């Protein structure tokens, strides 16, 4: 008969319980969170999504190399080739005030004239520049809005869950009220109200997206905190007299925040989509600012002749679809991983 020795390296136990090594990273994240991350890395759809996202990150970082701006101090202004209204097809030569030639252009094509790679849109705005610098705008607005909404949501949700009772009731009713109006309608009106105050920048739309975007996160973190706060270590902290705020921020939130963070990081796709929708409707950035919604909105006046001017919607359209699809693919895989009914099947 063999005796199980809890300290030694026991062969029998290894066979019976199928032990495996737990790495430092897994210990840091905790078993549930590690499983989620692993699930994401193993699903083909989510890998494809990640590759798409990575491509966009590279484009955003390399924007000054891919499309050198005319005015270095104002790179987000899409350069124009004259002022004629009619769009021009891809490959047209740049006539009026061409931007500096990127260094790779001559090496790749052997020509020393800059062309409109993807054509120009209404008013001779260059579509290629709009897309490349629009990628930066997308990440900039997406990241800012997501970080702000998560912070707001976590604070409200945490206060609501930790104090409970009356406070909880009031905060959650506020959440209910903010959720009545459809999000596009709500952000549209708030952005319209804020534009005269803040001017035609990215700010009004971003503030509107933050103001009506945090409620979902507040609900999720509230639920997670409600379950974490019943754990023994929270009780232990309370017994030895730790302050409320310290318990909340040092003991509870770090243990409850992971699902919210993952969901939030995928929210960038949705935020960018809403932002593009707002600027497509004419709310938000000033004329000629590089953002995908605006580049698409140029097409609104050319509906009847889209058969010849296809490039003014196809290029920016594909860009936006691929961007959103990247986040959706990862998000879809995540939903499967997080769904408790499917646990162990991924």
Binding site for other proteins (CB under 8 A): 45, 173-174, 176-178, 180-182, 184-186, 188-197, 273, 276-277, 280-283, 296, 299-300, 303-307, 310, 313-314, 317, 320-321, 324-325, 328-329, 332
The closest alpha carbon to 311, from 295, 291, 290, belongs to 295
Nearer to other proteins, 65 or 193 (CB): 193
Helix axis angle for 127-163 and 203-211, nearest 10°, is: 30
CA atoms of 250 and 244, how far apart (whole Å):
10
- Least separation, in Å, of the C-beta of 296 and other proteins? 6
Nearer to other proteins, 96 or 193 (CB): 193
- Least separation, in Å, of the C-beta of 321 and other proteins? 5
Phi, psi at residue 325, to the nearest 5°?
Answer: -65, -40
- Least separation, in Å, of the C-beta of 107 and other proteins? 34
Q: Where are the alpha helices (DSSP H) in the chain?
A: 11-17, 24-29, 31-42, 44-61, 63-66, 103-109, 127-163, 165-178, 183-198, 203-211, 215-228, 232-239, 244-246, 253-256, 258-280, 292-297, 311-338
Nearer to other proteins, 82 or 286 (CB): 286
The DSSP string of 76-105 is TBPPBSSS-SS-B-TTPBP-SSPPPPPHHH
Nearer to other proteins, 194 or 256 (CB): 194
Nearer to other proteins, 281 or 338 (CB): 281
* Cβ atoms of residues 47 and 41 within 8 Å: yes
Nearer to other proteins, 71 or 308 (CB): 308
Handedness of CA 251, 256, 262, 265 (dihedral sign): negative
Q: Residue with structure tokens 């026991």?
A: 10
- Least separation, in Å, of the C-beta of 312 and other proteins? 9
- CA 24 vs. chain centroid, Å, equals 29
- CA 295 vs. chain centroid, Å, equals 20
Nearer to other proteins, 225 or 272 (CB): 272
CA atoms of 255 and 235, how far apart (whole Å):
14
- Least separation, in Å, of the C-beta of 79 and other proteins? 24
- Least separation, in Å, of the C-beta of 184 and other proteins? 6
Nearer to other proteins, 156 or 257 (CB): 156
- Least separation, in Å, of the C-beta of 205 and other proteins? 11
- Least separation, in Å, of the C-beta of 44 and other proteins? 12
């Amino acid at each position: 008969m063999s005796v199980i020795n809890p300290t030694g390296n026991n062969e029998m136990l290894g066979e019976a319980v199928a032990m495996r090594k737990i790495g430092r990273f897994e210990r840091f994240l905790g078993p549930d969170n590690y499983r989620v991350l692993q699930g994401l890395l193993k699903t083909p759809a989510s890998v494809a999504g990640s590759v798409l996202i990575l491509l966009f990150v590279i484009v955003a970082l390399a924007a000054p190399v891919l499309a050198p701006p005319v005015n270095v101090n104002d790179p987000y202004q899409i350069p124009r080739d004259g002022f004629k209204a009619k769009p021009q097809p891809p490959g047209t030569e740049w006539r009026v005030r061409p931007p500096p030639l990127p260094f790779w252009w001559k090496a790749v094509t052997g020509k020393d004239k800059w062309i409109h790679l993807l054509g120009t849109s209404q008013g001779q705005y260059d579509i290629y520049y709009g897309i490349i610098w629009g990628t930066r705008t997308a990440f900039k607005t997406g990241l800012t809005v997501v970080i702000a909404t998560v912070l707001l949501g976590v604070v409200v949700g945490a206060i609501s869950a930790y104090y409970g009772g009356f406070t909880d009731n009031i905060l959650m009713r506020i959440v209910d009220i903010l959720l009545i109006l459809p999000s596009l309608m709500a952000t549209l009106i708030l952005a319209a109200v804020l534009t005269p105050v803040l001017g035609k920048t990215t700010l009004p739309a971003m503030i509107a997206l933050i103001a009506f975007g945090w409620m979902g996160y507040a609900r999720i973190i509230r639920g997670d905190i409600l379950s974490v706060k019943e754990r023994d270590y929270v009780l232990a902290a309370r017994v030895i007299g730790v302050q409320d705020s310290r318990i909340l921020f040092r003991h509870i939130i770090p243990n409850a925040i992971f699902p919210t963070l993952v969901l939030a990081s995928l929210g960038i796709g949705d935020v960018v989509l809403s932002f593009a929708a707002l600027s497509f409707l004419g709310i938000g950035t000033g004329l000629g600012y590089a953002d995908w919604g605006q580049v698409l909105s140029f097409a609104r006046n050319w509906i009847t002749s889209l058969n010849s001017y296809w490039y003014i919607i196809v290029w920016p359209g594909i860009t936006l679809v691929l961007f959103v699809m990247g986040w959706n693919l990862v998000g879809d895989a995540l939903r499967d991983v997080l769904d408790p009914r499917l646990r162990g099947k991924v």
